Structure 1
Amino acid sequence: MTLLQSEMAAILVVIVVGFLPNEIWRVLGVLFGRGLDENSAWMQWVRAVATALLAAVVARLLLVPSGALVALPFLLRVGAVVAGVAGFLLVRRSVLAGVLTAEAVLIAGAWWLGVGN
């Protein structure tokens, strides 16, 4: 098998195994979600569960970090969360702004402390 054929086979495997199984659920969600009332009790419950899951992930990253976050002090992680929330609120409730602000604080703090050098 040539190099091009092996690369194409790898791309095909990624599409079939990784992309299509996820995309099917997204398409079905769009099709079935069109008729839902955004203010219904069901959607309020879904929104509450999604918010609770996000809060749990943030709490876990803050209190029981893994990977590179282990090397950063607790107060720096707390500061990044606070800065992220502030960035979110200051830029018209932009999730992207909040995430980028928190990441900037973590990177600057790690650089300042010399972590990872």
Structure 2
Amino acid sequence: MSDFIGDWHALLVLLLAGFLPNEVWRMLGLWLGGGVDEESEILVWVRAVATAILAGVIAQILVVPPGALASIPPPLRYGAVAVGLVVFVAFRRSIFLGVACGELVMVTGKYILG
């Protein structure tokens, strides 16, 4: 069993330092935010800021790719994002289909280009 689990000390540290502190804040947010109106001005603003940050991170990864993504030519990266966006819009804003089609274009393009 120890071969399957590996170093149990590392798992304990991961649980105590990574998972549990995060869960406390998530549960507190769930408890405190249970009665908040989702259309209030502050939550609309928070959603807009979160969307802007996510768009910035995606743009940065697209323009200056880290790791293995850097081996994919820029036109292929941009094309995969464009295909993913078109599929997302065409299929009733399905995030899953948009991401899956974008990945499929990128993997297929990388396979064809070598």
- TM-score bucket (shorter structure): 0.7 to 0.9
Q: What does 1:13-24 align with in structure 2 at a 5 Å threshold?
A: 13-24=13-24
Task: Identify if the C-alpha distance between structure 1 residues 79 and 16 changes in structure 2 by more than 3 Å, giving closer, same or farther.
Answer: same
Q: Which amino acid aligns with 2:12?
A: L
Cα RMSD (Å) = 2.1
Which amino acid in the other structure matches residue 60 of structure 1?
Q
Structure 2: give runs of 5+ residues left out of the alignment.
Answer: none
| Distance in 1, Cα, partners of 2:6 & 2:101 | 41
Cα distance change on mapping 1:16 and 1:100 into 2, 3 Å: same
- Residues in 2 aligned to 1:54 and 1:88: alpha-carbon distance in whole angstroms: 16
Matched, 1:83 2:83: yes
Aligned equivalent of 2:94: 94
Q: If the length of structure 1 is used for normalisation, what is the TM-score?
A: 0.85
Correspondence for 2:44? 44
Counterpart residue identity of residue 57, structure 1: V
Identical columns (%): 48
Aligned mates of 1:12, 1:91 — CA distance in 2: 43
1:101 Cα shift?
Answer: 1.5
Residue 67 of structure 2: aligned partner: 67
Whichever residue aligns with residue 27 of structure 2, its letter is: V
Give the structure 1 partner of residue 58 of structure 2.
Answer: 58
Structure 1 unmatched runs, 5+ = none
Secondary structure of 1:14's aligned partner: helix
The 2-side partners of 1:87 and 1:15 are apart by 38
1:103 aligns with 2:97: no
TM norm structure 2: 0.87
> In structure 2, do the counterparts of structure 1 residues 102 and 6 end up closer, same or farther at CA, with 3 Å as the change threshold?
closer
**Residue correspondences, number:** 113
